[in-house]
A and B are shown apart, each in its own frame.
Chain A
């Protein structure tokens, strides 16, 4: 199969593009595999890639009910960062960021990871204290962070209203220079292509309808394309997690599925070079390479599998965006999306063995999953291969809520919709 490079591009430009092959095969499912991964989103495909690359486990199938990358990896606001606070979560996201930095080379697919920086704005002294705590936590964990003053922010973001006339004047911000954005579709396709090249079967239009069990152990799945046996079955289906696990008779995950909307504007000449989050409300915005402003905010706030939301959030998000950037009033929204978020009870994921023998679970990503894609795949592959968590995902257990080892970055409590 052809490697991607400027040379192969040039060669095919000259020969009428005949040298390209499908980015991944579309085989029929085999009757059995060593590992079946249910869920062909970013995390599932990343898991397959790392299983093959790091553990030499290639007799693997990724089962996707629609098309790969048609879930949340295909419709998020593309922010990548590791500016977390807690000692038990930060290392995971930092590892992910490091993987991002080498991902295009690792996959031989340009995921367009752009380290353009991310600034979290603070509007009160108390908020600045909290960001300082976060910055210091990062630094003590070996992750670079800065607290910027208003002047420094104004220099990086000329369009921002840093004056005292703003409704929520800016006092400063937390800055991670290494954070940034990536091209979301490329991530799914890149992992798919890489896994496929190593022998993983990617089976699309294959929905899991039940689980095969023997002696209390899961030994495979029933699907819309037949039964497939597996020594190990991994579930990584984001907002559908409760639904899929119900097929296995498991009915009580610490998950609520909520709708999150995201928006993009028409393409504009470069006007925003960093990613920004607003501190007096929930809003994040960056500018894509095609020129559109990509932004989003809070969940709509109610359980939903509809992949669409309602107007109040669009109005709130636009209001906050204009509070920060009054000049953007003339900018036009081009498109909106909604996705199904698996909101967990503390805002952090579950990457664990179980809940029954033969199963491995990866869910609860809330809307923080995109940046975690490489590390999620990396640690989930480890967990599956070794039947035990990696040090990085050891805190992400299913039982932590019972035992009191909750990981509440935002301090919001057992209310999924608040994380």
Chain B
């Protein structure tokens, strides 16, 4: 599998670390505990299109949001997320 990192170009999947479902909630700090428990422990786990986070661990170490089909492994889109998402940041 090859991932087209926005910073580094096409790199083999072994350079990346899979983080997980991008649609799993990231609750606000002071959100109630029940919301945090649900966010940490439950997943939709779709068979098909999946939005997920990866980190280019052995490269730029940036976080990517990837749209990938879990049945065919085909990757449809890759975008930078997190601190440098908008192109700004430090």
Q: Which residues of A contact B (CB under 8 A)?
A: 240, 242-243, 246, 251-257, 301-306, 310, 312, 345, 401-402, 414-417
Contact = CB atoms under 8 A, between A and B. Distances in A.
Nearest to A243: B47
B67 to A, nearest CB: 12
B31 interface: no
Interface string B1-26: 10000000000111001101100000
Given A252-B43, A305-B47, A310 B70 contact: no
Across chains A and B, which 9 residue pairs bring their CB atoms closest together, nearest first?
A: A252-B42, A242-B45, A312-B14, A401-B41, A302-B18, A305-B47, A243-B47, A254-B41, A301-B18
B61 interface: no
Q: Chain A binding site: helix, strand, loop or mixed by DSSP?
A: mixed
Contacts of B1: 310
18 contacts: A242-B46, A243-B45, A243-B47, A253-B42, A254-B41, A254-B42, A255-B43, A255-B45, A256-B21, A257-B47, A257-B70, A303-B18, A303-B50, A303-B52, A304-B70, A312-B12, A402-B34, A415-B20
Given A242-B45, A252-B42, 19 more contacts: A242-B44, A242-B47, A243-B47, A252-B38, A252-B44, A253-B43, A256-B45, A257-B45, A257-B70, A301-B18, A302-B13, A302-B18, A302-B68, A303-B18, A303-B50, A303-B70, A312-B13, A401-B41, A414-B40
A305 B42 contact: no
User: Interface size class for chain B?
Assistant: 20 to 34
A306 B46 contact: no
A252 B45 CA distance: 8
Interface in B43-70: 43-47, 50, 52, 54, 68, 70
B86 interface: no
A306 B38 contact: no
A302 B13 CA distance: 10
A401 B37 contact: yes
B52 A302 contact: yes
A345 B41 contact: yes
Given A242-B45, A253-B42, A306 B70 contact: yes
Contacts of B72: 306
Given A256-B45, A417-B18, A402 B37 contact: yes
B73 A306 contact: yes
**Which of B37, B40, B54, B73 is most buried by chain A, counting CB atoms within 10 A of its CB?**
B73
A256 to B, nearest CB: 5
B43 A256 contact: yes
A36 to B, nearest CB: 22
A312 B52 CA distance: 20
B47 A240 contact: yes
B29 interface: no
